[in-house]
């Protein structure tokens, strides 16, 4: 999953980025409204964390502009404590959820995970596909025989994205866009290497290759 974090408080954004990385997210940062609006329109983020008090263009204005351009990416706004009107204005502008500062990172993670699952799978709770269960907290996958299989950071990001889209043909470029950051290693051939590693760990049959198109995880939903 790839996130855009829009926050002009540098110590806070650096800390959040570290925590989000550890939780298996690729994170792009923006510290002002103008860049944030552009990035949100150009890149296929799975969710956006948006501070409302931003230099150059307010978070509220950025959010309104995204929605006016039919960008429906899930957005969690960060509001000032006790500013109830900010929450109301935020929801009116198209926010999906909010957190009042200061907040606990655990609450942000829980809201983020729930929001992404609702938007991508229509449900919530544990990801279970093709006999596999993903333990997102520990970044471990549990197979049919109840064996716990460790995953590296990239393997986890890739597998989580695929498990959220079972049966869909996922091109290498789409997988790259959702697994890596903007300035990260975006060579889509690297995806092949990670697919191979996942097959070694989970069995060949779990991920099928559709020649010239991409990969299919699990069974197509007919």
Q: Say if strands 169-170 and 207-210 run parallel, antiparallel, or are unpaired.
A: unpaired
- The residue range among 36-44, 53-61, 89-97, 138-146 that interacts with Ca ion, by the rule CB under 5 A, is 53-61
Binding region for Ca ion (CB under 5 A) out of 1-9, 37-45, 100-108, 183-191: 1-9
Q: Does 28 bind Ca ion (CB under 5 A)?
A: no
Stretch that binds Ca ion, among 46-54, 61-69, 85-93, 202-210 (CB under 5 A): 46-54
Is 31 a residue that touches Ca ion (CB under 5 A)? no
> Using CA atoms in the order 27, 23, 156, 137, what is the torsion angle rounded to 10 degrees?
-160
Query: Could you tell me where the DSSP H helices lie in the chain?
Result: 10-22, 33-42, 59-68, 84-93, 105-121, 153-163, 172-179, 189-202
Asked if 32 interacts with Ca ion (CB under 5 A), we say: no
Contact flag: residue 53 with Ca ion (CB under 5 A)? yes
Q: Is 51 in the site for Ca ion (CB under 5 A)?
A: yes
Helix axes 105-121, 10-22, angle to 10 degrees: 60
Give the nearest distance from C-beta 85 to Ca ion in angstroms.
16
Total chain residues near Ca ion (CB under 5 A): 3
Give residues in contact with Ca ion (CB under 5 A): 8, 51, 53
């Amino acid at each position: 999953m790839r996130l855009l974090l829009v926050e002009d408080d540098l110590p806070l954004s650096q800390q959040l980025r570290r925590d989000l990385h550890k939780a298996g997210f690729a994170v792009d940062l923006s510290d002002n409204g103008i860049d944030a609006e552009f990035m949100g329109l150009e890149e296929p983020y799975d969710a956006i964390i948006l501070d409302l008090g931003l230099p150059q263009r307010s978070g509220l204005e950025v959010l309104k502009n995204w929605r006016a351009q039919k960008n429906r990416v899930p957005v969690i706004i960060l509001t000032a404590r006790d500013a109830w009107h900010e929450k109301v204005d935020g929801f009116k502008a198209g926010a999906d959820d909010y957190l009042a500062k200061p907040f606990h990172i655990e609450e942000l993670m829980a809201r983020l995970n729930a929001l992404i699952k609702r938007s991508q799978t229509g449900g919530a709770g544990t990801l279970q596909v093709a006999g596999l269960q993903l333990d997102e907290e520990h970044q471990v996958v549990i197979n049919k025989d109840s064996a716990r299989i460790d995953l590296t950071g990239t393997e986890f990001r890739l597998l989580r994205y695929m498990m959220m889209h079972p049966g869909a043909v996922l091109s290498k470029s789409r997988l790259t866009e959702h697994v890596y950051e903007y300035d990260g290693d975006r060579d889509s051939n690297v995806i092949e290497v990670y697919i191979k590693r996942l097959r070694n760990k989970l069995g060949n049959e779990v991920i099928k290759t559709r020649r010239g198109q991409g990969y299919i995880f699990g069974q197509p939903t007919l």
